[in-house]
Structure 1
Amino acid sequence: MDKSLLRNKTVPVLLALLRIAIGWHFLYEGLVKVLDPNWSARSFLEGSRWIFGDFFRLMASNDTVMQAIDITNAFGLTLVGLALIPGLFTRLASWAGVIMLLLYYLAYPPFGDYAYGALAEGNYLIVNKNLIELVCLLLLAFSRSGEFFGLDKLIYEYYRNDVDDAGGKDYQPLPAGNNKRRELLKGLAGLPFLAGFAGIFIKNIPEQGPDAISSATLP
């Protein structure tokens, strides 16, 4: 990303908020699946009708494959969320989220009759929430957003020599003195959001089940 753009203090803040919001969504969607012993993506895969429909239905027909898919989906969503909120391994988490959302999109693309059977709260034409969230994750992956109010900044500082040896020319080390302490606090800024999520989730999960119409819930 252009460094001149990042000199605008609003841009890093907005990227961090975008990262935290998407992470919150993924984490919630993952945890409600992990905690629900009856949840399975089988019906979602069986209903796919686009060009990859046969492939998805073939996977749904095998119990062993379905067990692996359910575990990967539930814990994958959870781990992506756990990484994005505090900004830990953000690029890896963003790409993992992109792959998952792409599969959701390909199973029920929002055009023609191929989205029939997919729960949605509105009407879409090619662009739906899965695609929008996918594009946002691409932005996070290419912008090194974990360095903005995220733990990635602290990790890069700790392994500064390794990053430099690997050719990390764009890496900016933490400044010294008071500015260094300020940057350290910024690196930990995502943790209060993670703690807040935990408190809200524990309080509300007995009362509310999965959000049936949000993007990452569908499969």
Structure 2
Amino acid sequence: MRVISIPTEPTRLTAPALRDAVSSLREQVQEAHRVLEERLAEVTSEQSDGSLPGWSQRLGAYAHALCVEDGTIHALLKGDAPLFATTWADQVQWGPPPPRFERGDQAWIRRVEGELSALRRYATAVFAATDLYLASLTPEGLVRTVDLSGRGLGQPTVAWVVSRCLLGELTSACSALSVVKRRAGAAETPTSAASSYPPFRADPSPRTRCGLLA
């Protein structure tokens, strides 16, 4: 996959360079979605019944990443209500319900018991909404600033928010699912699967959470 530096602050890049950056960012997010779903698929149905130590927490990390992406795209970047608070509010049996977008509770990760099949359908809806947003993103939109001063993060660009917040959470969820697989003593991941993909260019530090559900 071609790697292009994504502008994280307002820049003077040429229009062609910005168009390439938009395309590259969309490709990275698509890749992250694919890897996450492959990692989840590697954990067998026997492991997903909750009997494996740590499974509930790791499933919570998966659900958490979905909700952060949902909130990032809809609430933070578009100014709309996230799917988990509207069309998907009653379609996933959250246990307990997801916290309010702007006042998340990290303990929710450890307690969530959403049905896996429903979560994956929710993921499909979230991923589709994200891809639609990125497909419509213009070079000017990529470097538009977002006011996160209330979260102590200043006014970063849309590119920074997507790269740090969204990709950072997806990376963390992939790592969490890998832990489940190792604990289960699963076989080595095939070369064609997730481990063969290039690492995401996202910072997995707490700063990546951008104050969303964290």
TM-score (normalizing by structure 2): 0.34
TM-score (normalizing by structure 1): 0.33
Which structure dedicates a bigger proportion of its chain to helix? 1
For the pair shown, the structure with the greater C-alpha radius of gyration is 1
